[in-house]
Structure 1
Amino acid sequence: MGKILTLHSPREARSYYLNGTWSPETMYALARKHAVERGDAFAVRDPHQRLSWSDLIARVECVADALHEAGLRSGDRVCVWLPNRIETVVVFLACSRNGYVCNPSLHESYTVEEIAGLMSRVECRAAFVQPGYGADGHQHDIVTRLSHLESIQALFITQAPGQEGAPPLGACAFPRGASSASAPLPSSDPDQIVYLAFTSGTTGQPKGVMHSDNTLLANGRALAKDWSLDERSVILSLSPMSHHIAVVGLEQSLTAGCELVLTDRRSGISPIDWIEQTGATYVMGVPTHAMDLLAAMDARGRPGLGRVSVFYMAGAPIPRDLATRFLRLGITPQNVYGMTESGSHQYTRPTDDAEIITGTCGIACGGYEVRLWNQDAPDEQVGIGEIGEIGGRGAVLMLGYFSDQASTEHSFNSSGWFLSGDLGRLDEHGNLEVVGRKKDLINRGGHKIHPARIEELARRHPHVAAAAALGLPDDRLGEKVCLVIVAQGRTPTTTHLLQHLEKQGLSRFEMPEYVAVADEFPLTPSGKILKRGLLEWVHTGKLVPRSVSEVASPPTQE
């Protein structure tokens, strides 16, 4: 394959090494260090297996040897489409060892054809898959489909627990046993591209984000330091390894030397039982996970959540009442903002007061800077308290989009700040409040309306489980606000919903002019509401918004 074009800058790299945000160790080197120093301590666990650091390294060596024997070279792409199992971590570390690029961001919700398309895009050389997995795995055979991809040199499979057997023709079983002496020496380059992850694609075709060992581990080191994680911690991710949240968990476990627990919904173990069974102290997920856990606690009359003291929440805004509820339970919510491109770079700290935790995503992590830029003039910085596009730069930032020069270039302003596409405001202490996506702004007659505020206030209604505000086309005003809700318990009437929003302080200009009720929302694989999916539902008639004028006096004025 040869070299991959990246944004790696020797000058910037030198500054990161000097200030300690980067180090000479790869992810594999850290895991091997723990195996040497604390080999019997537990490293990683799923519902079916639990490995010590020594066992983990032995598995990694075996996979690294098999990939080398298959003819892979440094820079080759290795794709993983598996349930949330230890094997994904093993492959990831084997890639770090040999200098390959691991692509685990292939979600269960994808079809066989979609997976084949993504593997083809990155010229996948080796793939790890499980027959029958995915959105249509029961109808289409992934092994047969991948046999037609010219780039693939090696195809390995795992079987679902209890379904062990000989691999199908054209595939090999997941490598196990002792490694041979033919394996190459481990890579000593932490600036190599080790991770390729596709974005969630909420606004278009997913892009392939590239990270090195160092850009990943810089984030893990900062989080572990700020939240005092050590070898006694137990990190449990409710998000799968195909989601960047779990990769952040891996980063932290490697830097802290603690156990990483993976959650496999196919195991039949409920999340609340799994958390208590594993002794998790630090739980990671999206706000939906937290809501479901609280509902399970209420249903069972549980006063707490085992040994959990911290709940990391990212991927979507945290409802204020959700964070407040966890605080009352003695569990500190870690309000996190980030992207696959920049990791979990913004988060609250253990010493932050309730207002900071519930109202902001805290300050930037060590080694990363955040500034806000005029959304219409991206080279002009906005002031404290003003809304602007969130921009960042530093040691945790990606090294570009794979084979996509145009998208890479267009993601930065002329000063070299990565522009996230998200809008926010900073207070005088650097705490960031995220107000929404730039592309989600609703333009009503020239008045810019931020959906996040409407959604946050709507979710405070006791009978609203989830909310999304979007702009519907209007011939005269350009767009009008439509509020879509998922109800819990009884469905609130439009009149009561508007009265609730008014009492919460929503201005008349921001008031919804259409309301719709959905049974559920279309979601990305990472759990974010897919607003273009909602607009498609409106277009096809699957979702029919009602004008508030049909049931109440118009709540807006021009």
Structure 2
Amino acid sequence: MLTGAVPWPAEFAERYRRAGYWTGETLADLLREPARTAGDRPAVVTLRQRVSYAELDAWADELCGGLWRLGLRAGDRVVVQLPNGPDFLALLVALFRLGAVPVLALPAHRLAEIGYLCAHTGATALVIPDVLARFDHRELAREVSATVPELRHVLVAGAPGEFTALAQVRAEPVDLPGPDPDEVALLLLSGGTTGRPKLIPRTHNDYAYQLRTTAAEMGFDASGAYLAALPAAHNAALGCPGVLGALRVGAPAVLAASPSPDEVFPLIAREGVTLTTLMPAFLPLWMETAPIFQADLSKLTVEVGGAALDPRLAARAEEALGCTLTRWFGMAEGLLSFTRPDEPAQFRHTTEGRPMSADDELRAVGEDGRDVPAGEVGELLVRGPYTLRGYYRAEEHNRTAFTSDGFYRTGDLVRLLPDGAMVVEGRIKDVVNRGGEKVSAVEVEEHLRAHPKVADVAVVAVPDPGLGERSCAFVVATDGEPALSELRGFLTERGLAGYKLPDALILVEDFPYTPVGKVDKAALRASHE
């Protein structure tokens, strides 16, 4: 097991093998069967590109060979910061075959995030685009390279500058042993409730189980097509069943840059898309523009998750779009609970459905740690065959994030109903869920306290009709009154991603406090509303 990762206890691992969840399948095997039996079939499609299974399989083999000749080996960590595109998928499969561990970053990440990920993982390589959304990632790589001595390679999709072009890495394939199915296949980023994102180790066995089972539960197979309109580096669009699940069953993975209707509706029509994933905030835009594009979505199932979904919006969207909505609660840490397409509309619109696995063990507990009665609100605890037993290189945090018997404390408040369904009521973790992007309030607060005009700050989630939530910074000022634009510019200079910048600023003389001496963010939120 990768040093710093926490394995499942032996008795649980054996239990999951006996149950048929862990079959020894590895992500290195993605593409092999469809490339052999249907090589001309499209594997990856964008508005302007089309790559067949045979081509993608060969591309991944040649990338694997090129990376090996650069000196990368099994167990090496590689931070991958690429947008949705064929090279993203070819690189992932190449790394799986090499046995190296991709660390999946988002294109919106900047120095604070990429520098930390490279340093924390001891990354050997960083893979970036050249310029994306007018941001030069090569300049970012220069700053990271100067501070992370282990980083030996920067690979660039596009014009490389002084670095190495990803396109030039391809070489003759090499004959390598396959990865251990129990080994870590990839590291995903948590939503984050502390100042720095936690890394989630997912093994070949457990992630293959997730791909296989979500596809089966959604009725998704080679006759369908999956659209990634969200970043494919997110667990939702990557493996639920997502783009990797599509490759596993031999279906096309259709990639869009965003959920913008002018890109996704033509792709849905042209490629016969049958399954996609969407945040609730985008449903009104789709409803408004579908008639303009004369979009026929009658064969489409939409997995809606990442933020609270109003049942009334779900019903209106399903009627207006003519598609089928399924409601999802999931986390990169593991647990997925969702409604299935063939279940009644009322159930699909009002609950987060039932867990993916029969061996998902869910508990709802009160502040005393004891289980609450069925139907009452409690914090969700979970363990199971695809839920992590510990974050990567986070021993101290793991002591409080998990119970002594291995249950993960999610920080989410739920009701577990007698029929096995779950309803999410909120969360106790200090996170702003901004349109599906999880923003750690603690991280933003730590940076803002470095501003000379900020004596103290509390970042709070407040309701937003479009995003679900937006961030509001309540600031106790020192000399002078900082403007919102000034604080946002300060955070940008410190390398924070754009979605982490506060949306609003309220100056206060002091904070309200709870009886135990903590800032009362609920009171701050209520004062804003």
TM-score, length basis structure 1:
0.74
Take 1:419 and 1:262, find their aligned partners in 2: how far apart are those partners? 34
Any conservation in 1 of the 2:228–2:256 contact (CA below 8 Å)? Answer: yes
Q: Which residue pairs with 1:388 in the alignment?
A: 378
SS of the counterpart of 2:505?
A: helix
Q: Which residue pairs with 1:53 in the alignment?
A: 53
Any conservation in 2 of the 1:221–1:251 contact (CA below 8 Å)? Answer: no
Take 2:215 and 2:464, find their aligned partners in 1: how far apart are those partners? 37
Take 1:142 and 1:268, find their aligned partners in 2: how far apart are those partners? 31
Q: What is the aligned length?
A: 457
Q: Structure 1 stretch 429-438 or stretch 125-134: which is displaced more?
A: 125-134
Provide the identity percentage.
25
Any conservation in 1 of the 2:230–2:257 contact (CA below 8 Å)? Answer: no
Residues 364/113 of structure 1: CA separation in 2 closer, same or farther (3 Å cut):
closer
1:434 equivalenced with 2:433 (yes/no): no
Residues 367/120 of structure 1: CA separation in 2 closer, same or farther (3 Å cut):
farther
Take 2:189 and 2:257, find their aligned partners in 1: how far apart are those partners? 21
Residues 533/286 of structure 1: CA separation in 2 closer, same or farther (3 Å cut):
same
Q: Which residue pairs with 1:226 in the alignment?
A: 217
2:140 paired residue among 139, 142, 147: 142
Q: Which residue pairs with 2:323 in the alignment?
A: 331
The residue identity in structure 2 corresponding to 1:28 is A
Q: Which residue pairs with 1:21 in the alignment?
A: 21
The residue identity in structure 2 corresponding to 1:373 is A
Take 1:146 and 1:487, find their aligned partners in 2: how far apart are those partners? 35
Offset of residue 221 of structure 1: 1.4
Take 1:141 and 1:483, find their aligned partners in 2: how far apart are those partners? 34
Offset of residue 434 of structure 1: 0.2
1:410 paired residue among 372, 378, 400: 400
The residue identity in structure 1 corresponding to 2:390 is G
Any conservation in 2 of the 1:143–1:171 contact (CA below 8 Å)? Answer: no
Take 2:461 and 2:168, find their aligned partners in 1: how far apart are those partners? 53
Any conservation in 2 of the 1:234–1:282 contact (CA below 8 Å)? Answer: yes
Offset of residue 238 of structure 1: 1.1
SS of the counterpart of 2:132?
A: coil
Residues 313/487 of structure 1: CA separation in 2 closer, same or farther (3 Å cut):
closer
**Which structure is richer in relative contact order (CA contacts within 8 A, separation 6 or more)?**
2
The 5-angstrom pairing of residues 334-413 of structure 1 reads 334-343=326-335, 345-378=336-369, 380-413=370-403
Take 1:482 and 1:64, find their aligned partners in 2: how far apart are those partners? 43
The residue identity in structure 1 corresponding to 2:305 is A
The 5-angstrom pairing of residues 1-400 of structure 1 reads 3-104=3-104, 106-112=105-111, 114-133=113-132, 136-137=135-136, 141-148=139-146, 149-159=148-158, 167-175=160-168, 178-180=171-173, 183-201=174-192, 204-248=195-239, 249-265=242-258, 269-298=262-291, 300=292, 302=294, 304-306=295-297, 308-328=299-319, 329-343=321-335, 345-378=336-369, 380-400=370-390
Take 2:261 and 2:70, find their aligned partners in 1: how far apart are those partners? 36
Residues 134/10 of structure 1: CA separation in 2 closer, same or farther (3 Å cut):
farther
Take 1:2 and 1:331, find their aligned partners in 2: how far apart are those partners? 43
Take 2:330 and 2:2, find their aligned partners in 1: how far apart are those partners? 31
Residues 403/41 of structure 1: CA separation in 2 closer, same or farther (3 Å cut):
same
Take 1:102 and 1:356, find their aligned partners in 2: how far apart are those partners? 37
Any conservation in 1 of the 2:21–2:209 contact (CA below 8 Å)? Answer: yes
Take 1:279 and 1:170, find their aligned partners in 2: how far apart are those partners? 39
Offset of residue 277 of structure 1: 2.6
Structure 2 alignment gaps of length 5 or more:
435-440, 442-457, 468-483, 489-496, 510-525
Any conservation in 1 of the 2:338–2:355 contact (CA below 8 Å)? Answer: yes
Offset of residue 47 of structure 1: 3.0
The residue identity in structure 2 corresponding to 1:405 is E
Residues 364/239 of structure 1: CA separation in 2 closer, same or farther (3 Å cut):
same
The residue identity in structure 1 corresponding to 2:180 is D
Take 2:285 and 2:216, find their aligned partners in 1: how far apart are those partners? 29
The residue identity in structure 2 corresponding to 1:64 is C
Take 2:261 and 2:372, find their aligned partners in 1: how far apart are those partners? 50
Residues 33/99 of structure 1: CA separation in 2 closer, same or farther (3 Å cut):
same
Residues 386/107 of structure 1: CA separation in 2 closer, same or farther (3 Å cut):
same
Take 2:498 and 2:171, find their aligned partners in 1: how far apart are those partners? 42
CA RMSD of aligned residues (A): 3.4
TM-score, length basis structure 2:
0.78
